[in-house]
């Protein structure tokens, strides 16, 4: 009998397979089949909707907590889909015995992050389960936004486009790991967890073809999704990937690949060659984009593939994340 394993929740290859073979197979429709970070739905205005559940452990980590994450994750999925995030729902599952003071800290963090992102929590639900039936707190948020005139999505990607990112990769993954394992670094590191909607407003230009937030599964998995959906290949340049020194150090020490580490405040942007410099400099002018870089380009040959060019000029194929290295990262 096949059973669920941790890798089904990794955001990598097995997560994709589970979604396709179980959820999409039985529930697929014109909306769900869009398979984007947020789905465009019908209304008097064009709307986008998304949902996400948060099971991060520990609840409080360097650079954030489950409340901040629950707002950012959903806001970012709307923002990268070209929508202006407006409303959130908040579903909370609490384990019996959880301290009220910690719940209040989480709620205050939700308040502060929602204010920063310019969204409102407009409905919610709370359930309590017996001690041992859940681990402290799980949160689900659903978000609704208005789609303005941004035309973004994998179908707009063309060979010759450049791939940009707004800063260092893997900061969230390594911060969570460091908190779990009690690691300390010479250069302190915090999660990059942040709402990206204002940054995106800052750099958006009609030359932007597609945006994705590389959360679970890292940029490696997200770029594979894009290469497959757009039927193009992507060539990444290893030495151009922005890396915080502590992430580089931790990856070397622990044998982790930063391209598969989770991010919670990063956006991958595919831009037409003519507009790349302009978008890059707009990105860099915002605090959340100061370490932005061009990390690769879109190619026509071998559609569906992601390749990484090493500093010595060798190339290797980058697949989706296999297995689950860091469970409960978000
Ligand atoms: Mg996403």
CA of 262 to the centre of ligand 1 (A): 11
Q: What's the pLDDT score for residue 42?
A: 86
Q: Is the pLDDT of residue 73 over 90?
A: yes
Q: What's the pLDDT score for residue 1?
A: 82
CA of 256 to the centre of ligand 1 (A): 22
CA-to-CA separations, 41 to 90, 119, 196, 284, in angstroms, rounded: 20, 19, 22, 33
Kindly report, residue by residue over 199-237, the tens digit of the pLDDT: 999 999 999 999 999 999 999 999 999 999 999 999 999
Cβ 137 vs Cβ 106: under 8 Å: yes
CA of 314 to the centre of ligand 1 (A): 30
Confidence band, pLDDT 50/70/90 cuts, at residue 303? very high
Cβ 98 vs Cβ 56: under 8 Å: no
Q: What's the pLDDT score for residue 150?
A: 86
CA of 78 to the centre of ligand 1 (A): 8
CA of 122 to the centre of ligand 1 (A): 22
CA of 215 to the centre of ligand 1 (A): 6
Q: Is the pLDDT of residue 45 over 90?
A: no
Q: What's the pLDDT score for residue 244?
A: 97
CA of 282 to the centre of ligand 1 (A): 22
Confidence band, pLDDT 50/70/90 cuts, at residue 106? very high
Kindly report, residue by residue over 47-66, the tens digit of the pLDDT: 999 999 999 999 999 999 99
Question: Domains in the chain, start-ordered, CATH in brackets?
Answer: 32-147 (3.30.1330.10), 154-318 (3.90.650.10)
CA of 213 to the centre of ligand 1 (A): 5
Cβ 11 vs Cβ 221: under 8 Å: yes
Q: Measured between alpha carbons, how far is 44 from 28 in angstroms, rounded to an integer?
A: 24
CA of 37 to the centre of ligand 1 (A): 5
Look at the block and give the residue holding tokens 């001690």.
131
Q: What's the pLDDT score for residue 221?
A: 97
Tokens of 211: 């945006």
Closest to 122 (Cα-Cα) out of 91, 146, 101: 91
Mean pLDDT rounded to a whole number for the chain: 96
CA of 76 to the centre of ligand 1 (A): 7
CA of 51 to the centre of ligand 1 (A): 10
Kindly report, residue by residue over 109-151, the tens digit of the pLDDT: 999 999 999 999 999 999 999 999 999 999 999 999 999 888 9
Q: What's the pLDDT score for residue 148?
A: 86
Q: Is the pLDDT of residue 82 over 90?
A: yes
- Residue 33 DSSP symbol: G
How many Cβ atoms from other residues are within 10 Å of residue 169's Cβ? 29
Q: What's the pLDDT score for residue 22?
A: 93
Q: Is the pLDDT of residue 194 over 90?
A: yes
Closest to 193 (Cα-Cα) out of 117, 255, 269: 117
The residues placing their C-beta within 5 Å of ligand 1, an ion, are: 37, 77, 213
Q: Is the pLDDT of residue 3 over 90?
A: yes
CA of 53 to the centre of ligand 1 (A): 12
Confidence band, pLDDT 50/70/90 cuts, at residue 325? confident
């Amino acid at each position: 009998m096949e059973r669920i394993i941790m890798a089904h929740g990794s955001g990598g290859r097995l997560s994709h397979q589970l979604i396709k073979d179980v959820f999409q197979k039985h529930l697929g429709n014109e909306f769900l089949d869009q398979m984007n970070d947020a789905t465009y739905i019908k209304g008097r205005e064009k709307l986008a909707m998304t949902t996400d559940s948060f099971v991060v452990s520990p609840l409080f980590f360097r650079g954030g907590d489950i409340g901040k994450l629950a707002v950012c994750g959903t806001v970012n999925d709307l923002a990268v889909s070209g929508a202006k995030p407006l409303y959130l729902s908040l579903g909370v599952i609490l384990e019996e015995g959880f301290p009220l003071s910690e719940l209040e800290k989480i709620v205050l963090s939700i308040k502060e992050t929602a204010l920063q992102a310019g969204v409102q929590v407009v409905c919610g639900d709370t359930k309590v389960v017996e001690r041992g039936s859940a681990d402290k707190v799980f949160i689900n948020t659903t978000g609704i936004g208005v789609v303005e005139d941004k035309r973004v999505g994998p179908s707009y990607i063309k060979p010759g486009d450049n791939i940009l990112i707004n800063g260092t990769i893997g900061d969230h993954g390594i911060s969570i790991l460091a908190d779990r394992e009690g690691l300390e670094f010479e250069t302190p590191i915090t999660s990059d967890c942040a709402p990206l909607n204002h940054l995106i407003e800052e750099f958006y230009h009609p030359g932007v073809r597609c945006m994705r937030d590389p959360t679970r599964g890292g940029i490696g998995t997200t770029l594979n999704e894009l290469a497959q959906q757009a039927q193009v290949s992507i060539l990444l340049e290893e030495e151009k990937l922005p890396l915080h020194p502590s992430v580089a150090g931790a990856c070397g020490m622990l044998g982790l690949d930063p391209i598969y580490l989770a991010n919670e405040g990063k956006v991958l942007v595919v831009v037409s060659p003519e507009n790349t410099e302009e978008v890059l400099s707009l990105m860099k002018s915002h605090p959340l984009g100061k370490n932005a870089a061009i990390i690769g380009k879109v190619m026509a040959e071998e559609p569906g593939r992601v390749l990484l060019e090493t500093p010595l000029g060798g190339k290797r194929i980058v697949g989706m994340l296999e297995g689950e290295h860091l469970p409960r990262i978000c």
